Structure 1
């Protein structure tokens, strides 16, 4: 978005330039893929199972941020990631309701 700058809805050409930026378009494709996979998962399993499993995405983002983007993650945040993973593990051990 640094290439486009501020966008006014009165100038549709700047809006189209921002939307058709390859990175923004790729983000939209990933968002659509997530939506389709999430609704598919909801058709196969309960929300109480799918919702915690989707929180593993936060764990994946933290690991990618640490090792690919070289971000500094504090021990408290790693503890939070461990807590999320443990919670997902507990939920997946329960019986499926459908």
Structure 2
């Protein structure tokens, strides 16, 4: 598998795991930090699914690190993660970002893109 495709896989797995985890927290009705929720959290199918996705992502990430420059891999994965997560959070959970937050997200992602681009 090509390195860039593996980086994309990691980014999408990380986004998916966060979305599944969010769904799990919503389904459990967790609205505050309270240790009494832990037994329910760790037996939630959503939380277990998110954990499984993260383990898969971690394994793929090990192969990425064996082949790619860390700055390139982490930068590209991170930029994609934030953009995709913000868009899907908006689409699936009706989470809103202000125009200024969208601009900030675009600027950060553009900066990361400049850092990971090999040629100018």
Alpha-carbon shift at residue 3 of structure 1 (Å): 6.5
Find the partner of 2:118 among 83, 87, 94.
Answer: 94
Runs of 4+ aligned structure 1 residues displaced above 4 Å come to none
Which residue in 2 is equivalent to 1:68? Answer: 92
Q: How many residues align?
A: 88
User: Which ranges in structure 2 are unaligned for 5 or more consecutive residues?
Assistant: 1-24
Paired residue for 2:54, among 26, 31, 36? 31
| Deviation (angstroms), 1:27 | 1.1
TM-score, length basis structure 2: 0.62
Deviations 1:34-54 (A, max 9, x none): 211222211110111011112
Superposed CA RMSD = 2.3
2:69 is matched with 46
Shift of 1:18: 3.6
The structure showing larger relative contact order (alpha-carbon pairs under 8 Å, at least 6 residues apart) is 2
Q: TM-score, normalised by structure 1?
A: 0.73
- By percentage of residues, which structure has more helix? 2
